[in-house]
Amino acid sequence: MKHQFTLPAFPESNFELDIAFWTGKQIIYKDNVAVERSTEKGKPFLIPDSNGEIVKAYAKPAYPDIVPVLVIDNNKYNIVEKLKWYEAVLVILPFSIVFIGGGALGGLIGAVGYIYNIQLLRNDDGKSLKYLKAIGVAIAAFAVYFLVSAVIWTWINP
């Protein structure tokens, strides 16, 4: 999942954040060149400025979103627009399987639906289409959970 953004401290540069779907690994590109990441606590990205100095940018979680915010000199910069409250509800909806007795199976299916819904809401489709797809993902997650649960139940109790 790639997200393009700009930073006020670098008005002449274009940035892109690439987040791996399965691992969550984050890579920032400044003008199509990968930015080095430090091994120090917090693992900041080391962004070189026009004077050759290094600016440390820390990626911090922005729940319920999986796209982090960047913290530079105690200032937070959103990489993507924050989710509206109703979008956050749509994102979290598949994960609610856990609360109906889902356990590990519900958590796994719900987490995949959660991540997929965030990606759906970040694409360029029209709003109504995005919301319909997100509702469809939630319904599909519940259907898959009940189907897999039924198969496991009949396998355990023949």
Please spell the DSSP secondary structure of 24-36, one letter per residue.
--EEEEETTEEPE
pLDDT score at 133: 94
Q: How far is CA 19 from the centre of its chain?
A: 8
Q: What is the DSSP letter of 129?
A: H
Structure tokens at 77: 């910069």
* pLDDT at residue number 123: 80
Q: Nearest to residue 64, comparing CAs of 109, 20, 95, 43?
A: 95
Local mean pLDDT, 10-residue blocks, the chain (158 residues): 84 88 84 90 88 87 82 88 89 89 86 89 85 95 93 88
Distance CA 20, CA 33 (A): 17
Ranges of H-type helices in the chain: 85-92, 103-121, 127-156
pLDDT value at residue 51: 79
Helices and strands (H, E) in the chain, number of each type:
3, 9
pLDDT of residue 117: 92
Task: Provide the whole-model pTM.
Answer: 0.71
Closest CA to 25 of 59, 48, 63, 49: 59
